[in-house]
Amino acid sequence: MFISGFQLLLAISKHLCTSLLLMLCLTLTAEAQHRYPDLIRMPDFVSQGAVYAWPSNASDYFSATFAETRSAHFHAAADIGTWGQEGFDVYATRDGVLFRIGISPHGYGNVIYLKHDDDSFSVYAHLQDFHPEIRTIADSVRIARGYINSLDIRAEDYNIQFRKGDFIGRTGSTGIGPPHLHFELRSPHNDAINPKLAGIHVADRVSPVFSGLAVIPVDAESYVRGRKDILRLNPVRRGGDFHFGTIETQGSFGLAVNASDRADNGRNVYAVYELKAKINGKAFFHSRVDSFPMADGRKMLIDRVYPILLNRNGGYQRLHIMDGNNLPFYDRTLGNGILSLPPGNHQIEIIAADYYGNESRAFATISVTEPTSAPPDSERFFAGGSPIVSLPVGRLNRHPEDVFRWSKGWISPRHNIPVEELTIRSSGVFNQPSRKYKNISPHTGLRLSGSHIEINSEQTGPFVLHRIVPGQYTEIRNQTSRTVLRFEPDSVFDTTYVHVSAWNENGNTYFRISPEDIPLRRPFELTLNLADSSLSEPGWGVYFVNERRNRLDFISSVSEKQQIKTRLNGFGTFTIARDTTAPQLSRPRLWRRAIDGQWFVSVRAVDLMSGINFDQVEFYVNGVRGIPEYDPFGHFIRYHKPDFQPVRGRNKVSIRVPDRSGNVTVETYELNH
């Protein structure tokens, strides 16, 4: 059989040089301690003299670092690069007992938790496979529970001990796309710990880089270059420093930076470890990412600038602390970092540093103008409030969120379209006056107050903003859209105003909950009360309208008594759709894994609506049921059984694949071996 040069090199690196790589990995910590003696800050929970080993022979570099930006949480680990390949050895980084085993198509994929003698943990995720003893436990439990795919069990009672450097599994790509090893350390209290604090190091003489500065208005009287939009600037590099020029502001504002780092001889871009900011030479912000509670990983959404993150324009780190953000990163003696400056020019200096002390500096000038003494638009008050007049539907050519932006304390017209007249009234308050504004120019901030605010403009017609406050249960009922939204006390990070609308288009009903650029701390419940008798038919569900990818994304929901209930992690546009199409299957293939000789049967399974219900799949080969392991990224289901051996000649394959709306595909094939 022909072997390419790359395959030969890979085989040599994995099989002939394993011991050499392991020796290198085990000594990296000692080298780091010698090179950076003042930077080895062992966490308090670590036993005196504990030394961590490098966890794999795949490579000696990080493909990602601690506390990086992810779609909805902080990255809780350091990722070890595996050259885009699977099957490298994974080692116990310290002596420990097997504590937990997880298997899932999503998230951590195949994952091992080891518990150490100081009650801390090390976590090894996205594995291709486990140590044989761990695999035996996982398979026996999954078979006993009905040949399920997913698994999450405590395994301490099995008393499986590993010594530092022992083989515990192989690197893979389960639960995620590209292959790598996700290596995580946790304290006894389930705090994620930066692995560099425990001596897991890479060579790094490279300073961070600034690629963007954001300036964010924070209240009704705040403007940046005369606008209410977040301003983003690119730097000019001079003499090793980064310069963002002069920025005109009015009122209070916050800053954020898009900064990144690299290591020696590494192509991957990392998060910045430490940020400091000064105004006129005086510190006003300092953050350093050493650890965070795993339960607070979603607070990444308010440590970063969520509207920018949502549009995939970068993970801008705030140089100010949002309400509801109690992460342990910040020096809170400096205040919250919001700047309210007197008129004149002020000098900003921002310092970004990595763990090893490599630094870069960025500079900007803030030019503050006098605040406007009176609102730029005329304002008239009407005692008792004037009624909101409904406009003909034909005149409503925009949704409220397309015309206005709003925050917890203000509302402002968007874009460059002036609003000729706007009325604001807090409803439900006796004798509450209305405020009427004429000829409102774009980016004018108008104050909001009250729990329910009625707003009317010619561009939108009447609409209502509902206030949600942290620590309070809130229920929003919308008669027009026949929706009920229920927010638990911990659903939002900060006070938020929400608008709910509904409309019909091309025979479909759509629901929009806005604004979309407000992050949620916890999911909220949405109930749709629909009197349509067709809902009694199977297959109906709630879908997120993913305009970016031009598709509908299924959201798990329950239909009963002409109601559909679901839980949502964020705002946006949703619709009700019926999935009547069963999954499509390709012809299966029989194959053998080279690294250990194990046999598998795989079938490609695609469902474009509600998706595969992977834990309800039934997979048989020659009448023997196996565990169906699902890979949503490759869209295949793999027949797994520890002792599976195909017979010579014909092998009968039977598979039953349901989707999450109840549609089922059943197929039988014959494979020759």
**Mean pLDDT, residues 157-186 taken together:** 95
If you write DSSP's letter for every residue of 530-576 in order, what string do you get? ---GGGGSTTEEEEEEETTTTEEEEE-EEEETTEEEEEESS-EEEEE
399/526 Cα distance (integer angstroms): 20
DSSP code, position 159: -
Kindly report the CATH number that applies to the domain delimited by 469-578.
2.60.220.30
DSSP code, position 615: G
Specify which residues 151 forms β-bridges with.
Answer: 103
Per-residue model confidence (pLDDT) at position 181:
97
Strands 241-250 and 359-368 come out as parallel
**Mean pLDDT, residues 412-434 taken together:** 78
Per-residue model confidence (pLDDT) at position 502:
86
> What confidence tier does 373 reach under pLDDT thresholds 50, 70, 90?
very low
Structure tokens at 411: 């509302």
CB 642 within 8 A of CB 132: no
CATH of 5-198, one of 3.30.1370.60, 3.30.200.20, 3.30.1360.30, 2.70.70.10: 2.70.70.10
CB 498 within 8 A of CB 514: yes
Structure tokens at 273: 């470890």
Whether 584-672 and 5-198 are alike in CATH topology: the answer is no
103/113 Cα distance (integer angstroms): 12
Per-residue model confidence (pLDDT) at position 389:
29
Per-residue model confidence (pLDDT) at position 285:
98
If you write DSSP's letter for every residue of 468-482 in order, what string do you get? E-TTS-EEEEETTTT
> Model confidence over 251-275: pLDDT tens digits?
999 999 999 999 997 789 999 999 9
CB 468 within 8 A of CB 498: yes
> CB-based contacts of 643: which residues, under 8 Å, 6+ apart?
none
* Residue 244: closest CA among 272, 217, 223, 213: 213
Per-residue model confidence (pLDDT) at position 559:
80
514/466 Cα distance (integer angstroms): 11
CB-facing half-sphere around the CA of 13: CA atoms within 13 A: 17
pTM for this model (two decimals) = 0.88
* Residue 69: closest CA among 267, 234, 298, 276: 298
Question: Check: CATH 3.40.1000 for 584-672?
Answer: no
The region that residue 250 occupies, defined by phi over 0 for left and psi between -120 and 50 for alpha, beta otherwise, is: beta
CB-facing half-sphere around the CA of 255: CA atoms within 13 A: 28
* Residue 364: closest CA among 341, 347, 339: 347
> Phi/psi at 14 (nearest 5 deg)?
-90, -30
Residue type, 495: T
Give the range with max mean pLDDT: 61-70, 344-353, 425-434. Answer: 344-353
> Model confidence over 46-101: pLDDT tens digits?
766 788 999 999 999 899 999 999 989 999 999 999 999 999 999 999 999 999 99
Domain limits of the chain? 5-198, 209-368, 384-463, 469-578, 584-672
